[in-house]
Each structure stands twice: as C-alpha cells, then as structure tokens.
C-alpha cells in the first residue's frame, strides 16, 4: 500500500513542518547585521528599516569608526551622522533618531542599552520590531520580530490571516515553541531571501510552498 501524502490541512501541522525543515536548511543562525555589542546592534537594526542588511553592513564601518558608543555618538553632529548613513535611505529621520537615542542612553541608562521592551520602545526611532530584534539577538530573550519577509511567508504558508504585522506575530508565537523563536525568525528571513522571494516565488514555486500546497495553482496575494 503506497504511503499517504502528509496532512498539512491544519496550521499547526504546517508550522511543525516549517520548523523542522528550516532547522535542517539553516542549522546555524548568524545575525545578518554586523555589530559589536547591543548598542551597535540597536543602531544597525534602526538603519535597516526600508534598507537591505547588506547596505547597512557597508555603511556601519565608517559610522563605528566615528562613534561606536552612546557617549561618543551623542557628540557627533546630526548632519555628520546623516552624511555617513545617507545610502541607507530615510537619513534625516534615522540620523535624528540615532543622535536622540544615544543621548537618552547616556542620560537615563548610564550608557547601556536597556533590557526591557518598554524602555527600548521609549527610545527615538525604536519600534516594536527593532526592540524585538535587540531583545532576541543581544540579550537572548524570546521574541519573534516580524519583518516584511516573515509577514509575507507566514501568509503564503497559511500560518496567519495576515491582517497586520501584529496579528502575524501573535499567530506565530502561538504556533511555534518559545525556545525556537529567536532562531526561527532568522531562519524564515534566510529562506525568504534565498528561495521564497517577493518576485521569485508567488506561493507556488519554492520547496516549502510546493510541499505544503502541492495542489495550489494560483499565486498567493499577500497583505503588506
């Protein structure tokens, strides 16, 4: 009697398979943003908004050479920060945020990056996703940062309704073991960049999409 195909009819079954397969494909999960410590990670994540990690990594060596601590960065004119980070886009807002958060770290936190979501999200330019990355990758606190890659793939794999990034984060946290979150969010990003890209896969092309939905014929429209 031939083996029956796996049953991926439930969200949990699909999530379990995604978890297992991505762990096989990406046993190592290096943080894609070059950094030295929690502060430089925080700044690099802020710079990565609407910008590729590759471009951020090209820009930050000059920035770190100028200032790689909150104390030093707080002394750098905003115009100089903006000049250095211009290739990352949104440079006026990002430069102002980097200068502002650096001053606050010195004034309120003794120059250290705080270790709570509330304190991180109170810093200029730091939203929930940025705070989640820092908490996960700098401090090892379980978090599930949802960027555009994860939001798109979670919809293609029917792990979420995709109504909002917040909904996607909540759905993924329910589906996956907490102890997997920090590595898994990076694994999904790696897979999305390599195989399930915005233009290279429409929900019918890559290995995971074809495995989970072998009968899918139409492209999947995802919410942003």
- In this structure, which topology does domain 11-29+144-212 adopt according to CATH? Endonuclease Iii, domain 2 (1.10.1670)
147: annotated active-site residue:
yes
Question: Hey, what are 138's tokens?
Answer: 């700098």
Task: Quote the Cα angle for 95-98-99, to 5°.
Answer: 85
pLDDT at residue 118 in the model: 97
pLDDT at residue 1 in the model: 41
The active-site residue, picked from 129, 158, 171, 202, is: 129
Domain made up of 38-137: CATH architecture: Orthogonal Bundle (1.10)
All CATH 1.10.340.30 domain ranges in the chain, comma separated: 38-137
The active-site residue, picked from 34, 96, 147, 173, is: 147
129: annotated active-site residue:
yes
| Reduced 3-state DSSP string for 10-33 | CHHHHHHHHHHHHHHHCCCCCCCC
Per-residue pLDDT of the chain (224 residues; tens, 9 = 90+): 445 568 999 999 999 999 999 999 999 999 999 999 999 999 999 999 999 999 999 999 999 999 999 999 999 999 999 999 999 999 999 999 999 999 999 999 999 999 999 999 999 999 999 999 999 999 999 999 998 889 999 999 999 998 899 999 999 999 999 999 999 999 999 999 999 998 899 999 999 999 999 999 999 988 87
Strands (E), 33-155: none
Q: Is-contact 22 187, C-beta < 8 A?
A: yes
All CATH 1.10.1670.10 domain ranges in the chain, comma separated: 11-29+144-212
Q: Any residues with CB less than 8 A from the CB of 128 and at least 6 apart, and which?
A: 117, 121
pTM above 0.85, yes or no: yes
- With 0-12 / 13-18 / 19 or more C-beta atoms within 10 angstroms meaning exposed / middle / buried, residue 128 is middle
């Amino acid at each position: 009697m031939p083996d029956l195909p796996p049953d991926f009819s439930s969200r949990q079954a699909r999530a379990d398979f995604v978890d297992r397969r991505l762990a096989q494909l990406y046993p190592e999960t290096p943080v894609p943003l070059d950094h030295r410590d929690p502060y430089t990670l925080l700044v690099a994540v802020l710079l990565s908004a609407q910008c590729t990690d590759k471009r951020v990594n090209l820009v930050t060596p000059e920035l770190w050479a100028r200032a790689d601590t909150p104390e030093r960065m707080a002394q750098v004119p905003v115009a100089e920060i903006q000049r250095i980070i211009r290739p990352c886009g949104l440079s006026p807002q990002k430069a102002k945020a980097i200068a502002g958060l650096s001053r606050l770290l010195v004034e309120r936190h003794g120059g250290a990056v705080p270790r709570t979501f509330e304190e991180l999200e109170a810093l200029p330019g730091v939203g929930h996703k940025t705070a989640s990355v820092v908490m996960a990758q700098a401090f090892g606190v379980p978090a599930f940062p949802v960027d555009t890659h994860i939001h798109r793939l979670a919809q293609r794999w029917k792990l979420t309704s995709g109504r909002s990034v917040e909904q996607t984060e909540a759905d993924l946290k329910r589906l996956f073991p907490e102890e997997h979150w920090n590595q898994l969010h990076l694994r999904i990003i790696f897979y999305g960049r390599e195989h399930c890209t915005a233009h290279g896969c429409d929900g019918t092309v890559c290995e995971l999409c074809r495995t989970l939905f072998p009968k899918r014929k139409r492209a999947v429209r995802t919410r942003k």
